[in-house]
Amino acid sequence: MQPMQHQMMGYDRAITMFSPDGRLLQVEYAKKTVRLGNTAIGMVCKDGVLLVTDKRIVSDLVVPEAIEKIWQVDDHIMVTAAGILSDARILVERAQEKATGYRVTYDSPVDVLSVVKDIANVKQFCTQSGGLRPFGVSLLIAGADESGLKLFQTDPTGLFYQYRAVVIGEGETEVEGILQKEYKEGLTIEEGLKVCVNALRKSIDGKEFNAERIDAAVITEKKRVMERIPKERIAKLLR
C-alpha cells in the first residue's frame, strides 16, 4: 500500500495508532515541524561546548536582545531548540525545575545526562498516550559536568544521541555537510565558533544575514558556567 493511501485511511490521525507498515505517522509529522524550525548548531570544542543559533527576528520592532533562543537550565547546562518554540519552553522550564530540585536535594549540580533522559521521557510519553500530541521540537542540550563536556540532541520521538557536533532545523542538510568537512576534534572555541557562524551564513539567504540574528553561548570546561557570546565577537568573525 502507498503512503498516500495510509493517509486516506487515517493512520496518521492519532499518536496512538501504528500504520500497517509499523510507523507512527503523527510522530513523523512532528519531525517535519522541526525541519521547518530555525537552524541551531551545537559543537564540542577542546575547552568548551558551543551552541549557535539563528534568532530569525520577525520584525524590526522586536527587541533583539530579548529574544533568547539559548536558555540556561542551570549554571552548567544550556539548551537550544528547533521547531515549536512554545513547546521548547515547557521542556526547558521542566529541566530548570529538575536541576534546581537536584541542587536542593543533593547539594551538587545535576549531571547533563539525567536532564536529557528526563526530557526524553516526557517526549516519549507524548507519543504513546491519547489526548496529547507529540512535542513538535528537537532540543540541543549542552553542558559540562564531572565526566566532561556533553552535547546531546533529543527528537520528538524521545530518542537522544550524544554528538561531537550537530545541527537541527531548516539548514540541517546543508550545515551537516559543512560540519562533516570542517569539524575536527581539537578545535578551540574560537575556531569552532567560526565554523558554526560561517555554516549559518551559508545556509541563510545572504541579504537577510547579520550578526544581530545570531544567538551564541559557550560553557567552558574550566568555569562550567554558561556565558553568552557578545554580538561584537560574532560580528568580527563575519568580516
Rule CB under 8 A: which of 166-225 touch its own copies? 166, 176, 179-180, 183
Which is closer to its own copies, CB of 31 or CB of 202?
Answer: 31
**Is residue 66 a contact residue for its own copies (CB under 8 A)?**
yes
Q: Which neighbouring-strand residues pair with 217?
A: 51, 228
Pick from 208, 175, 222: which is nearest to 47 by CA?
A: 222
Binding residue (CB under 8 A) for its own copies from 45, 51, 84, 144: 84
d(CA 154, CA 141): 8
In the set 46, 67, 98, 201, which binds its own copies (CB under 8 A)? Answer: 67
Identify the residue among 2, 22, 106, 205 touching its own copies (CB under 8 A): 22
Q: How many CB atoms lie within 10 A of CB 177?
A: 14
Distances from the Cα of 232 to the Cα of 184, 201, 212, 236, 239, angstroms: 25, 16, 9, 6, 11
Which string of x and - marks every residue 132-171 that binds its own copies (by CB under 8 A)? Answer: xxxxx--------------------xxx-xxxxxx-----
* Closest distance to its own copies from the beta carbon of 154 (Å): 9
CB of residue 13 to its own copies, shortest distance in Å: 6
Contacts of 196 (CB under 8 A, 6+ apart): 41, 43, 50, 52, 216
Cβ closer to its own copies: 72 or 157? 157
- The answer to whether 53 and 80 have CB atoms below 8 angstroms apart is yes
Give the side-chain half-sphere CA count within 13 A for 195: 27
∠ CA 140-210-42, nearest 5°, is 15
Only one of the segments 82-90, 100-108, 195-203, 223-231 lies at the binding site for its own copies (rule: CB under 8 A); that segment is 82-90
Q: Which residue in this structure is represented by grid cell 544581530?
A: 212
Binding to its own copies by CB under 8 A, coded x per residue (else -) over 32-61, reads: xxxxx---------------------xxxx
Contacting its own copies (CB under 8 A), which of 93, 97, 190, 227? 93
Closest contact distance (angstroms) between CB of 89 and its own copies is 7
